[in-house]
């Protein structure tokens, strides 16, 4: 029986193999193509940008190992594939709050996709103040059976907050120790108010434009 260290090293090796990674990259590229088409169609339909940014990443083997150990799952590749919904992750940035939910509806209606979980951190933010709509979606892969992708949909303002919080707080070991928790939560609340205000302004402008053309 091998040591825990050997078990971890074998896991890292397996997770880094191209045969394991390729289906996830392929799934991300296919989902990206879908989102780009959605953006083209709806941007033309709405007369404004629907999606402002699409990015994706594949979780590192080390990050997968840390998560599996933290959750006390068996350390093997099959466990990772079954229980980790964010090995492949996509971030989709919209300009307005209602676009988040419109995009979620479009994704749910796509018969090629299977939505297995949705978490709404926009209506119910995390304790830290984090806001985003998370969807775990299974998309068919050319390399075989489908793979899960975690799609995070948020506004540009929400993304700014999340990027700063992730870099300066999450990666550095927590904000409670540094006394930044209150400030970050206050900023998150302000960002939500700004997003709602910007949505209201957009709707007023759209109404004014319709009245002009009437």
What pLDDT digit, counting tens, does each position of 139-185 carry?
987 766 789 999 999 999 999 999 998 877 765 555 555 677 888 99
Inform me whether the pLDDT recorded for 54 exceeds 90: yes
For residue range 56-90, what is the model confidence (pLDDT) as tens digits?
999 998 989 899 898 888 888 888 888 889 999 99
Model confidence, pTM:
0.89
Q: What is the per-residue pLDDT across 102-147, written as a single tens digit (0 to 9) for each? A: 999 999 999 999 999 999 999 999 999 999 999 999 998 776 678 9
Rounded Cα distance between 191 and 171, Å, is 22
Round to whole Å and give the CA distance between 124 and 132: 9
Catalytic positions, written as ranges: 150
> Residue 76 has what pLDDT?
85
Residue 204, burial from CB neighbour count under 10 angstroms (0-12, 13-18, 19+): exposed
State the helix-helix crossing angle for 4-15 and 61-70, rounded to 10 degrees. Answer: 130
Let me know the angle formed at the C-alpha of 137 by 188 and 61, rounded to the nearest 5 degrees: 80
pLDDT for res 1? 47
The structural domains of the chain, with segments of one domain joined by +, span 4-156
Q: What is the reported pLDDT for 30? A: 94
**4-156: CATH topology:** Beta Polymerase; domain 2 (3.30.460)
């Amino acid at each position: 029986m091998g040591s825990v260290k050997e078990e971890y090293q074998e896991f890292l090796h397996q997770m880094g193999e191209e045969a394991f990674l390729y289906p996830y990259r392929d799934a991300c590229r296919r989902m990206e193509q879908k989102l780009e088409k959605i953006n083209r169609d709806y941007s033309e339909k709405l007369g404004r940008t629907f999606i402002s940014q699409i990015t994706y990443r594949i979780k590192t083997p080390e990050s997968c190992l840390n998560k599996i150990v933290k959750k006390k799952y068996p350390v093997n590749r099959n466990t990772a594939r079954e229980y980790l919904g964010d090995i492949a992750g996509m971030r989709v940035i919209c300009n307005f709050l209602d676009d988040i939910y419109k995009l979620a509806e479009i994704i749910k209606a796509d018969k090629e996709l299977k939505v297995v979980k949705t978490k709404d951190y926009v209506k119910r933010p995390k304790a830290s103040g984090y806001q985003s709509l998370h969807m775990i979606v299974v998309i068919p892969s050319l390399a075989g059976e489908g793979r899960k992708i975690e799609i995070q949909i948020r506004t540009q303002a929400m993304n700014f907050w999340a990027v700063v919080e992730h870099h300066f707080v999450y990666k550095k070991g927590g904000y409670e120790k540094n006394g930044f928790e209150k400030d970050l939560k206050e900023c998150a609340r302000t960002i939500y108010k700004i997003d709602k205000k910007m949505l209201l302004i957009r709707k007023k402008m759209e109404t004014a434009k319709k009245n002009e053309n009437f």
